[in-house]
Amino acid sequence: MPATLGALLRQFIGQHRRAYAAAALMLFAIALLQVWIPRHVGGMVDRLVAGGLRGDALWAPLGGLLAAGLAVYGLRVGWRLVLFGASFKLGQQLRVQLFEHLGRQAPAYFQVQRGGDLMALATNDVDAVEQASGEAMLAGFDGTMTFVLVLLTMVVGIDWRLGLVALLPFPFMAWAFWAISERVHQAWAQSLDHFSGMSRQAQQSLTNLRTVRAMGLAGQEAAAFGRWAEASVQASFRAQRWEAAYEPAVGLSLTTATVLALGMGGYLVAQGELSVGQLTAFTMLLGHLIWPMFAAGWVLSLLERGRAAWTRLAPVLQAPDTLVDSGDRGPVERARLRVSELHLGYGPDAPEVLHGVTLALDPGRVLAVVGPTGAGKTTLLRGLLRQWAPRQGAIELDGAPLAAWRREALSAAIAWVPQEPFLFSASVRDNIALARPEARDEEVEAAARLAALHEDVLRLPQGYATVVGEKGVSLSGGQRQRVAIARALLSHAPLLLLDDALSAVDTGTESQILGALRQLRQDRPACALLVVTHRLSAAMEADEIVVLREGRVSERGTHAELLALNGWYATQWRYQQLEASLA
């Protein structure tokens, strides 16, 4: 990934050289026509003064002007279609690269990078870079070409003395542009940073809207958002104010140039060294310098904004992938899982959570992992999902380490139902069929029945077509969990991981789902089920139960064997049974 905006633009222009060359040729033709028109008008004036242009003789020169105007119009439309079509591809390319790059990052990466900042990068910052590759390149080339041709025509084609006099104010304008561009860069950098803060605040408030309202923090959150919005507006205003300073510099320089040119030109006309037509053409050419001057200010503004945006984008795109996909095996045939002396923590500097955990799970069997809060149960599942790499020990699936499998193969082999399932703002059917969008309605309904969800769905306003809203806001916690379970069952993955996925359902529904999972185990003998749960009734029929305490395996065995040990499991079982009887 290029380190600077200039390197990025050179690389992109090289990849789309044909489009930029075509646009450059059209802009060159426009510049030639814009130089030809004043010369043509100047010649007409001299012929009119001399009395050589009368009656029908006027039609041909006027027709030439009309044709030139139509040609300029057509060429301007053409270069816009060609050049902006190319620059839009850069915006699309950067957004796709950003999205794919973020998809290759581990959870630790997102503890540093916030969602609101990343959203701002994908919108505002990419737009700024896109404008630098399109509008800035166009205006820069067009303005430079027009300036050079107009200047050559003024100096070589009309009178070099007038040209030199008219150029006297331009060094002042160049100095003003340099000074203004520095301020513009600083202002746009602050504006983009404040926009990120505003996006971050909005995402945080909307994501936790229920909590904000329940705790009466709506006013506080609105005030925080207002401060970010005000800071963003003020920074943008400062940037626009400095951009507006380009116009006075251009106006003052061109006005001074016009006054000097008219004074010098009037003297030369009086001396008979210059014709009235030539002075008219020179004055019109000075008017054509307005666009190159304004273009220079516009280009500097767009480039400074793009440079500020690329300064924020480049470190994210250049960050190394933290989820390295170096495996070459796949697909996974059997859910044969082995965990050996696993030591795992959240990052190299964080305390270790799992200490030498060993367990095994074969196809057709159920393994339950239980233990007190903070024992490391969810951490174990995150290790199985390759969200965190082991510090020591090994995790093997179907006889090979997890790192030996392609990530696509692992994703297809493992269906995970987390503690807090995520639902998209789509229909119930689309949420269930997320992993298999081509699934038939009958298959979706069958998965919903296994998850004890079908009857609930029928009571929704549009049944399976009901849109559940952002994060499933229109469903209860138990319904969201069962949608996620149905999604996992429909995926046909060999290994099913349930991370306390029955915590929000009642015991009757829990029994119904567990019964369906037992039947599923018989229908799919190559599959295996690992259940992490606080509710021991969900673990009692597992083939093996592992008790984790403080990151270590403290007990293991069947339900009956663990009751006979009279350890943590037996104590917790009696407590939960007493609690259930009182309820």
Report percent pLDDT > 70 for the chain: 90
Q: Are 366 and 521 in contact (CB under 8 A)?
A: yes
Cα–Cα distance, 346 to 110 (Å, whole number)? 13
Average pLDDT over residues 285-309: 75
Give the distance from CA 471 to its chain's centroid.
Answer: 20
> What CA–CA distances, in Å, run from 34 to 73, 138, 278, 425, 543?
11, 16, 16, 54, 85
Q: Do domains 89-318 and 337-582 have the same CATH topology?
A: no
Residue-wise pLDDT for 370-411, tens only, equals: 999 888 898 899 888 888 888 889 999 888 888 888 888 888
> With bands split at pLDDT 50, 70 and 90, how would you rate the model's confidence at 1?
low
- Per residue in 447-460, pLDDT (tens digit) is 888 888 888 889 88
Top pLDDT among 434 and 136 is at: 434
Convert the pLDDT of each residue in 4-13 to its tens digit: 777 777 787 7
Q: What are the tens digits of pLDDT across the range 149-193?
A: 777 777 777 777 877 787 787 777 777 777 777 777 777 777 777
Distance separating alpha carbons of residues 54 and 47, to the nearest angstrom = 9
- State pLDDT tens for residues 94-134: 888 888 888 777 776 776 777 777 777 888 788 888 888 77
pLDDT reported for residue 556: 93
Ramachandran quadrant class, 542 (left: phi over 0; alpha: psi -120 to 50; beta: rest): beta
Q: Label residues 356-374 b or e (16+ Cβ within 10 Å = b).
A: ebebebebbbbbbbbbeee
Cα–Cα–Cα angle for 511, 516, 522, nearest 5°? 130
Any idea what DSSP says for residue 351? P
Task: Say if CB 504 and CB 421 are below 8 A apart.
Answer: no
What is the sign, positive or negative, of the torsion defined by CA atoms of 568, 569, 575, 576?
positive
> Per-residue pLDDT tens for 532-569?
988 888 888 888 999 999 999 999 999 999 999 999 99
Helix (H) or strand (E) segment spanning residue 544: strand 544-549
Rounded Cα distance between 418 and 149, Å, is 67
Nearest to 377 by CA among 565, 536, 171: 536
Percent of the chain at pLDDT exceeding 90: 9
pLDDT of residue 557: 92
Q: Is the peptide bond before 320 cis (omega within 30 degrees of 0)?
A: no
- The residue type of 365 is R
Q: How many CB atoms lie within 10 A of CB 320?
A: 9
Query: Domain 89-318 - what CATH class?
Result: mainly alpha
pLDDT tens profile 349-379: 778 899 999 999 998 888 999 999 888 898 8
Q: Report angle CA 561, 562, 568 to the nearest 5 degrees.
A: 165
Boundaries of every domain in the chain: 89-318, 337-582
Whole-structure pTM value: 0.66
Token output for 323: 């989820």
Q: Distances in Å between the alpha carbon of 146 and those of 17, 77, 237?
A: 21, 17, 31
Of residues 135 and 448, more confidence is placed in 448
Q: DSSP assignment, residue 535?
A: -
Phi, psi torsion values for 365, nearest 5 degrees: -120, 165
**What tokens were used for 61?**
């020169």
Distances (CA, A) of 446 to 451, 479, 510, 528: 9, 16, 17, 19
**Tens digit of pLDDT for each residue in 30-39?**
777 777 777 6
CATH class belonging to 337-582: alpha beta
For residue 550, what are the contacts with CB-CB under 8 A and spacing of at least 6?
355, 375, 376
Average pLDDT, the chain: 80
Lowest mean pLDDT among 40-49, 104-113, 390-399, 471-480: 40-49
Least confident piece of the model among 70-84, 207-221, 363-377: 207-221
Q: Which residues pair with 546 in a beta bridge?
A: 369, 556
